[in-house]
Amino acid sequence: MSEDLIEEGAIGTSQTDADAGQSLRADAAADVQSNFFASATTDLLGPAGDLLDKGGIAIWAIAVLSVLTLAIILWKVWRYAVTGVWRRTRAETAVELWLAGEDAMALETASPGHGVRARITGVAINSALTRDVASAREETIRVAKGQLAQARSGLRALELIATVAPLLGLFGTVLGMIAAFQTLQAAGSRADPAALAGGIWEALLTTAAGMAVAIPASAALTWFESTTDRLRLDLEDIATRVFTRPPRQSFAHAAE
C-alpha cells in the first residue's frame, strides 16, 4: 500500500515537474518571440524602431496617426490642384465678358475644366440665361455647396488627429510614469536614480511624439480651411456679380 502511494506521489511529482517545464518553455518562447520582434523593429527602422519599441502601444498609435496625417495632407493638395481650387484667372475673365454683354464668349471661357470658380461662373451664367432669377440663384447655390463640400472633405479627419494625438501622447506618458514609479517602489531603498530617469524620459517620449503629429496636422488644417473660406467668398462674389448685371437695355444705349 505504501509502495503504491509512493509510486503515485512520484508520478504526480514528475507530472508537476513536466507541467512546470512546459510553462517555463512557453515563457521562454514568448520572451524569445518578443525579443525577436523588438530586434526586427529596431533593425528595420533604426533609431525610430528603437523609439517605437520603448514608447509602447501609445506611440505605435501615434505613428499610425502620423502616416494618416501625411496621407491626408498629400491627398488634399493633390485634390486642390486637380480641381483647380487655386485658379482664378478664367473665372475673372468670364465674369468681365459677361458684364460687358459677351454672353457666348463668357460661357465658352467659363468651362468646367478650368477650376471650381470657372465652373460656378459657367453655372451662374447659364442659369441666368435659361431660368428666372430665383431659380437661377438656387441652382448656383446648389452647385456651389457641392463644390465647397468636396473642398472640405477630409478636414474633419485632420481636426480629429490634431485633437487626439496629444491626448494619446499624454496617455502614454501617464502609463510610463506609473510603470516607472512601480519600479521605484519595488526597488525600495536600492532604487537606482538613473533607471528612474530612463523610465521617465521614455514616458515623456510619447508626449513629444503626439505633439510632433498634432502641430503639422493643425497647421495643415488651418491652411486648408483658409483656402476653402477664400473659395467660398470668391464664389459668393462671382454669383453676385453675375446676377446683378445691368439690364440688356443698358448695353444697347452704351453702344449707341
CA distance 102 to 73: 40
Asked if the structure places residue 124 within a domain, the reply is yes
Asked if the structure places residue 194 within a domain, the reply is no
Q: What is the DSSP letter of 188?
A: G
Return the SS3 of 111.
Answer: coil
246: left (phi over 0), alpha (psi -120 to 50) or beta: beta
pLDDT tens digit string along 40-80?
Answer: 444 544 555 555 556 568 888 898 999 999 999 999 999 99
CA distance 121 to 230: 16
pLDDT of residue 45: 47
Q: How confident is the model at residue 174 (pLDDT cuts 50, 70, 90)?
A: confident
pLDDT of residue 193: 67
Asked if the structure places residue 147 within a domain, the reply is yes
Asked if the structure places residue 174 within a domain, the reply is no
Structural domain harbouring 9: 1-46
Can you read off the three cell numbers belonging to residue 219? 497647421
pLDDT of residue 11: 46
**Which residue, of 117, 134, 152, is where some domain finishes?**
152
Q: Of 2-11, 62-71, 140-149, where does mean pLDDT reach its minimum? A: 2-11
Asked if the structure places residue 167 within a domain, the reply is no
Same domain, 41 and 89: no
Can you read off the three cell numbers belonging to residue 178? 506609473
Of the two residues 249 and 214, the one the predictor is more confident about is: 214
Closest to 170 measured CA to CA, from 135, 208, 140: 208
Asked if the structure places residue 64 within a domain, the reply is no
Q: What is the DSSP letter of 245?
A: P
Length in residues, the chain: 256
**Which residue, of 152, 182, 208, is where some domain finishes?**
152
191: left (phi over 0), alpha (psi -120 to 50) or beta: beta
Asked if the structure places residue 61 within a domain, the reply is no
Q: Is the pLDDT of residue 256 over 60?
A: no
Above pLDDT 70, what percent of the chain?
69
pLDDT of residue 51: 55
Asked if the structure places residue 192 within a domain, the reply is no
pTM value > 0.75: no
Domain tally for the chain? 2
pLDDT tens digit string along 96-132?
Answer: 999 888 888 988 888 777 889 999 999 999 998 888 8
Residues 6+ apart with CB under 8 A from 121: 90, 91, 94, 95, 98, 106, 110, 238, 242
